[in-house]
Amino acid sequence: MQDRGNAMDTADYKVLIIGGGASGMFAAARLVKELGSGTDTAVIESGTRTGRKLLLTGSGRCNITNRHCIISKYNTDDPVRLGKVLSGFNPSDTVDFFENVLGVRITSKGDLYYPATFKSSTVNDALRLYIEDAGTKIITGSKAVSLVQTEEGFAVSLESGDVLTSKCVILATGGASYPGTGSDGTGVSLPDGLIDPEDIIPFTPALVPLTSDKKILKQLAGIRCSCRTKVICGGKTEDTSEGEVLFTKEGGISGICIMDISASVLRLLDSGKDVSVSLNLMQADADEAVNMLAVRRHLFGNRSCTDAFSGMIDRKILEAVMADMRIDPESTVSDLKDGRLIQLANALCGWEIPVNGCEGIDNAQVSCGGINLSALTDGLCAKEHRGLYVIGESCNVNGICGGYNLQWAWASAAAAVRDIASYV
């Protein structure tokens, strides 16, 4: 146990935060703002440094929030509670806190906000420096292994054998994706006996690349293409998205718009259904695509099909679609009959990729599952255990790509801290 002199009755701390990731570090910063000092707070982090997943965000650029953080962008067990938490600390509050409290200049690209440096380390450093300046203790290289309720509050045991006590505990151990960053999904079991096991939903991957056994995809590894996508199951469109698709070296499909539909795909696959993702590689209606092909056939009649059409779409993708349709890419384009040209246009506007699974939780950006919001209050406190809070990806909340998940991390931390400020 740490020597804390005569601090806070008999407990070591007022607030112990388990997990020094995005939500835990933000909670520590909000505590400094709300309580005026950080000396009564400690952050316990299993890794040797804080914010390891935060550093990976936005391909190292950290998309901190999105102008439109509305509940329809998220999956959760309790959308009403989610809405209350999100409206209690909105994207403008995030920008304001980063700019005016943490000193991070923020810039936007469309609806997406980033640090003006476009470096996630700027965000990570700003959080750490702010709480360190205020005297918050950051205990790295320490994994919390148990959490029990005591008369004074809670006792947290560390792997080292040390036990820390505190009036409040914030569980901020994250989800189960990218376990190499320290968030391996085991943290949600720490409040053993304090949260009903039925309210702890097992983690599964979300925002994850999809796999396919369509062999030709491997030839496209590394190629990116803007697309409109549809999830097709039993002839029906089950979900849609738009953006960049990346063909992976594993022979699957990734990119933001694929990640955004991955949860729907996995849900359908889990129920035993055949699912395919249709890629509109032309981002156009079939009629427009027919016109585009016909114009080029007319203009470049002596060229091969690939050469004639390669100004419209990546050459390798074009060849893959033509191979699927048994059109010889070297054949002269003027020999392509109207019927075949229409079929090619249709294929380019809806290239169906049968999908059979995903790359797994290690490669997912976030995970579905965690502690149900319905087991918590609006201040994200365990209903039956005053002083125990759950925030960030440890909660059963996950959003699509575009800054929604970090906004949840910030907003949930802010909600818990508001509640704590009225309690400690």
Ligand X SMILES: Cc1cc2nc3c(=O)[nH]c(=O)nc-3n(C[C@H](O)[C@H](O)[C@H](O)COP(=O)(O)OP(=O)(O)OC[C@H]3O[C@@H](n4cnc5c(N)ncnc54)[C@H](O)[C@@H]3O)c2cc1C
Among 183, 212, 278, 280, binds ligand X (CB under 6 A): 183
Pairwise CA distance, residues 184 & 199, whole Å: 18
Among 23, 241, 262, 396, binds ligand X (CB under 6 A): 23
Q: How far is the CB of 237 from ligand X (least distance, A)?
A: 27
Among 12, 31, 46, 137, binds ligand X (CB under 6 A): 46
3-state secondary structure of 163: strand
Residue 31 interacting with ligand X (CB under 6 A): no
Among 8, 55, 56, 313, binds ligand X (CB under 6 A): 56
Distances (CA, A) of 321 to 7, 325, 327: 69, 6, 9
Q: How far is the CB of 157 from ligand X (least distance, A)?
A: 10
Q: Quick one: which segment of 40-48, 98-106, 163-171, 261-269 binds ligand X (CB under 6 A)?
A: 40-48
Q: Which of 366, 345, 283 is nearest to 73 (CA)?
A: 366
3-state secondary structure of 37: coil
- Total Cβ atoms within 10 A of residue 295: 11
Q: Quick one: which segment of 6-14, 43-51, 292-300, 308-316 binds ligand X (CB under 6 A)?
A: 43-51
Beta bridge partners of residue 230, listed in sequence order: 240, 278
Residue 404, judged by CB atoms within 10 A of its CB (0-12, 13-18, 19+), counts as buried
Residue nearest to ligand X (CB): 21
Q: How far is the CB of 265 from ligand X (least distance, A)?
A: 19
Q: How far is the CB of 202 from ligand X (least distance, A)?
A: 16
Pairwise CA distance, residues 205 & 220, whole Å: 24
Q: Quick one: which segment of 123-131, 218-226, 315-323, 403-411 binds ligand X (CB under 6 A)?
A: 403-411
Q: 65-66 and 112-115: which strand pairing?
A: antiparallel
Q: How far is the CB of 19 from ligand X (least distance, A)?
A: 3
Q: 388-390 and 163-171: which strand pairing?
A: parallel
Q: How far is the CB of 288 from ligand X (least distance, A)?
A: 33
Among 28, 29, 31, 44, binds ligand X (CB under 6 A): 44
Q: How far is the CB of 185 from ligand X (least distance, A)?
A: 8
Among 54, 104, 169, 259, binds ligand X (CB under 6 A): 54
Residue 191 interacting with ligand X (CB under 6 A): no
Binding residues for ligand X restricted to 329-388, rule: CB under 6 A = 365-366
CA-based end-to-end distance of the chain: 21
Beta bridge partners of residue 158, listed in sequence order: 144
Q: How far is the CB of 409 from ligand X (least distance, A)?
A: 4
Q: 200-206 and 397-399: which strand pairing?
A: unpaired
Q: Quick one: which segment of 51-59, 212-220, 252-260, 309-317 binds ligand X (CB under 6 A)?
A: 51-59
Quick one: the chain helix, strand, coil %, rounded to 5? 40, 25, 35
Among 69, 266, 321, 409, binds ligand X (CB under 6 A): 409
Binding residues for ligand X restricted to 123-182, rule: CB under 6 A = 143-144, 172-174, 177-178, 181-182
Q: How far is the CB of 410 from ligand X (least distance, A)?
A: 9
Q: Quick one: which segment of 58-66, 161-169, 243-251, 257-265 binds ligand X (CB under 6 A)?
A: 58-66
- Whether the CB-CB separation of 306 and 330 falls below 8 Å is answered with yes
Contacts of 387 (CB under 8 A, 6+ apart): 153, 154, 167, 168, 169, 381, 423
Pairwise CA distance, residues 379 & 340, whole Å: 61
Q: How far is the CB of 139 from ligand X (least distance, A)?
A: 9
Among 258, 353, 392, 411, binds ligand X (CB under 6 A): 392
Encoded tokens for 69? 């953080």
Nearer Cβ to ligand X (147/289): 147
Residue 406 interacting with ligand X (CB under 6 A): yes
Encoded tokens for 92? 């403008």
Pairwise CA distance, residues 251 & 40, whole Å: 51
Tell me the residue ranges of DSSP E strands in 248-292: 253-254, 275-280
Q: How far is the CB of 146 from ligand X (least distance, A)?
A: 9
Residue 21 interacting with ligand X (CB under 6 A): yes
Q: What angle do CA 113, 114, 117 make, to 5 degrees?
A: 150
Binding site for ligand X (CB under 6 A): 18-24, 44-47, 52-54, 56-58, 62-63, 143-144, 172-174, 177-178, 181-183, 187, 365-366, 392-394, 403-406, 409
